[in-house]
Structure 1
Amino acid sequence: MTPASGTVEAHGIGGQADLPISLELAVSGAVAALVVSFTVLAVAWRRPRYDGGAFPGRPAPRLLDVVTASPAFRIALRVIGMVIALFAVFTAVFGQDSLTNPFFGIVYVWWWVGLIFASAVFGPVWRAISPVRTINAGIARLSGSDPDEGLVDYPSWLGYWPAALGLFAFVWLELASRTPTELGSVRLWCAIYVGAMLIGGAVFGNRFYESADPFEVYSSLIAKLSPWARVDGRLVLRSPLANLATIPSTPGLIGVVGVLFGSTAFDSFAESSFWVKTYQNASVSKFLLDNVALVVFCVVAGLLFSIGSALTPSREGLSRRDLPRRYAHSIVPIILGYIVAHYLTLFIDVGTQTLARASDPLGKGWDILGTAALEPSYWFSYHPEVLATIKVLAVVVGHVVAAVAAHDRALSLLPPRDQITGQLPLLVVMVGFTAGGLFLLFSA
């Protein structure tokens, strides 16, 4: 990821030399943990527990339920989202074309990374604070129309594909474009995003945002790993695995997870000594190589998972072509694991720098938020072995949770005679993701 701070590429701290054990042993242990988990599941988990949504959970405290369901709470979240968005617009329009402009940190750190961490803890945050939803609702009110109703129905066959395209456009800007840290380029990308979202909302209504807003789709998928859900209008606490099982098998879901997983893997690969030597010695430009490699990583990630899923047997009447979408929800924990492993230090250190710089958005020596004196502690810089351990644990836990989710879904999809052996193709793919992901992560 391109550093938004101008001083530190924080997610690069903690390489394989900082592991308390060798990288090969860490990879072997991670693969063993995944295989052992599968074995235990095969023996002890014989019936689907979460698939089908038959897991209501425990009611949340009544006061929390009442507060979060109130119109005032929803309005407050909308106001917070609009205030942050307007501040970002202010820094983008009037701020300096320099990496000290907090606009870069707001986009690359708070929006892209912080939103995901918040969604994993609190639920679908972007849906609650989305400024484009708020603007669309305001326009609908002024025109006397219903923001939920568009001019035409959103095509069901389109599914998440617009969101997958939007996510790829963002990671391209960040990882493969020539000008990821030029104010004009990032400002133009955000303007195109807002324009596309407002047009889509006007044409298709709010259904458009659920399927086509790249940030809402990303946030909502990760939110399925939070412990919160609303069941029959009531806020409940329940297992993230139960929430994960409710992800709809929508067309384009493979595209979304392929872009998210593949782009994070490419971000690690792009920092490896192998890739640096490759583009330094190549006869073509780094720009071209990065673009080709980014596409390849995203396509291969989605293709490998699709092949592994399609090779599993299925009950009569279920097409193999539909199987990848049915299992795709299990990739979400892997994505979150890699986001934690790859971007934790970026979020903490550069996120703190962004908060400090937000107090002086125009570089005039202001301290409007009282945060100008904040400085990152760079704690992980002094404890790289701790960071390396967290990286391995995040990846391993993400894959183990993914294996559990895939196993639970497989029990519903596989014929009784194939409920063990039928899962092996998917297990092989996940083992490959685990080993390959850790090698890429620590090769940076």
Structure 2
Amino acid sequence: MTGGTGGTGGTVLAHGIGGQADLPISLELAVSGAVAALVVSFTVLVVAWRQPRYDGKPVTGRAVWSWLDRLVSSSAFRVGARVLGLVLAAYTVAVAVAGQDALTNPFFGIFFVWWWVGLVFASALLGPVWRAISPVRTLNAGIARLAGSDPDAGLLPWPERLGYWPAAVGLYAFVWFELAYEYPTELGSVRFWCAVYVGAMLVGGAVFGNRFYEHGDPFEVFSSLIAKLSPWARDEEGRLVLRSPLANLSTTAPRPGLVAVVGVLFGSTAFDSFRESTFWVRFYQDASIGKVYLDNVALLVFVVLAGGLFALGSALTPSAEGLARRELPRLYAHSIIPIILGYFVAHYLTLFVDVGTQTLARASDPFGKGWDILGTAAVEPSYWFSYHPQVLATIKVLAVVVGHVVAAVAAHDRALTLLPKRDQVTGQLSLLVVMVAFTAGGLMLLFSA
């Protein structure tokens, strides 16, 4: 996130370490090993995993401690989460409106780092965090109760054909603003983006009720999809259980627009790596067209290419009788979620640790008055990865490889329920080719700076 990095004071180190020169092996060998790991994993799956283990299975798992279940199921916990969300939102509004018009304003770090990257990591560990604390959900519920209406119902039923398409548009609006807009670190621009987001969410909630947030809030949809890789779930009786992330992942609803969502997330992360590459820097420096225009075109190409390649690979798989090929991409799309999480870890880990810590220090003095209201003003990033670039490079490779291997497992399990028996090996080859291309291309982009 170069835009987010600049917005938090120019901490370029977030993306400036852990390059291919720091790999303990050559980049070519790393890519070859990653591809080999993916192919070997597929071979083992074909031989040893011949029946679907997750699709169509009831939501079961190991029951957690009863006190923990009672705690997270209580009204007090839900209200506390809502209050926390409102407090964080109120603080963010305060620093956005009354804070200094300077890059040291913590608003930039909250927006680009805590909200975007931190939400992903929190959702992977804790479950659908944004759904629990979403201030727009809370505001919508308060407005509905004052008006004497039901916040779940709204004025109109949600059109199922829209699926996740509104969320895909919202996610693209965010990554466009961060990666391709000309002024992503101007305070007024970020405030305007947030105002449009809040306005759209409140209007959508008033018209369609809470169903709108499940489908149309880009941050809730993103958080909920990543949460499918968390170990937490509810069984059929509503009890909190610990469950395999792969089992959770298989419950992802294949709604319209799901391919567009994963295409935006995966493609934009890949473009964020590409825009830091030596090739791209030299290209736009020598071009007669402005960098902003080139970034806009390249971002769109990356997003369309990521979603299009996956859709093509999925549509080329054979389908069971009565299932249209155009429906296949969204039935396999859940398998891209582990890849997205892997790339977020690989690409944004240092940004979150270093710039996130820097933001915590600045948040203690929100208005530049020399305050220390949180007691964190003296906290400074350790830049540990700056001094251990080989460790970071290794983490990057492992995150990408593990993400692709988990994706291969999820896709294979789904394929066993969708493919005719005679095609359950060869029918998956088109998907395997796409994932091999994603693995090799992703690693090369990640270390291209």
What is aligned with 2:17? Answer: 13
Which residue identity is paired with 1:378?
Y
Whether the 8 Å contact between 1:6 and 1:100 is mirrored in structure 2 is yes
Whether the 8 Å contact between 2:42 and 2:408 is mirrored in structure 1 is yes
CA–CA separation in structure 1 for the residues paired with 2:392 and 2:40: 25
What is aligned with 2:370? Answer: 365
- Name the stretch that deviates more: 57-66 or 6-15: 6-15
Whether the 8 Å contact between 2:59 and 2:234 is mirrored in structure 1 is no
Which residue identity is paired with 1:417?
R
What is aligned with 1:403? Answer: 408
What is aligned with 2:213? Answer: 209
Aligned: 1:168 with 2:193: no
Which residue identity is paired with 1:49?
R
Aligned pairs for 1:132-151 within 5 A: 132-151=136-155
State the Cα RMSD in Å: 0.6
Aligned: 1:195 with 2:199: yes
Q: Give the match's secondary structure for 1:334.
A: helix
Whether the 8 Å contact between 1:60 and 1:236 is mirrored in structure 2 is yes
What is aligned with 1:312? Answer: 317
CA–CA separation in structure 1 for the residues paired with 2:56 and 2:103: 48
| Alpha-carbon shift at residue 7 of structure 1 (Å) | 3.6
CA–CA separation in structure 2 for the residues paired with 1:7 and 1:264: 20
Which residue identity is paired with 1:191?
A
| Alpha-carbon shift at residue 230 of structure 1 (Å) | 0.9
CA–CA separation in structure 2 for the residues paired with 1:267 and 1:214: 19
Aligned: 1:89 with 2:93: yes
Aligned: 1:62 with 2:66: yes
What is aligned with 1:389? Answer: 394
What is aligned with 2:283? Answer: 278
Percent identity at matched positions? 77
Q: Give the match's secondary structure for 1:259.
A: helix
Give the unaligned 5+ runs of structure 1: none
CA–CA separation in structure 2 for the residues paired with 1:374 and 1:313: 56
CA–CA separation in structure 1 for the residues paired with 2:403 and 2:120: 15
Which residue identity is paired with 2:173?
A
Which residue identity is paired with 2:115?
W
| Alpha-carbon shift at residue 258 of structure 1 (Å) | 0.2
| Alpha-carbon shift at residue 55 of structure 1 (Å) | 4.8
CA–CA separation in structure 2 for the residues paired with 1:438 and 1:47: 32
Which of the numbers 128, 135, 140 marks the counterpart of 2:132?
A: 128
CA–CA separation in structure 2 for the residues paired with 1:302 and 1:200: 26
Give the unaligned 5+ runs of structure 2: none
Aligned: 1:74 with 2:78: yes
| Alpha-carbon shift at residue 54 of structure 1 (Å) | 3.0
CA–CA separation in structure 1 for the residues paired with 2:409 and 2:267: 22
| Alpha-carbon shift at residue 208 of structure 1 (Å) | 0.1
CA–CA separation in structure 1 for the residues paired with 2:15 and 2:310: 27
- The two structures have a TM-score, normalised by structure 2, of 0.98
Whether the 8 Å contact between 1:53 and 1:246 is mirrored in structure 2 is no
CA–CA separation in structure 2 for the residues paired with 1:12 and 1:43: 42
What is aligned with 2:382? Answer: 377
CA–CA separation in structure 2 for the residues paired with 1:54 and 1:431: 32
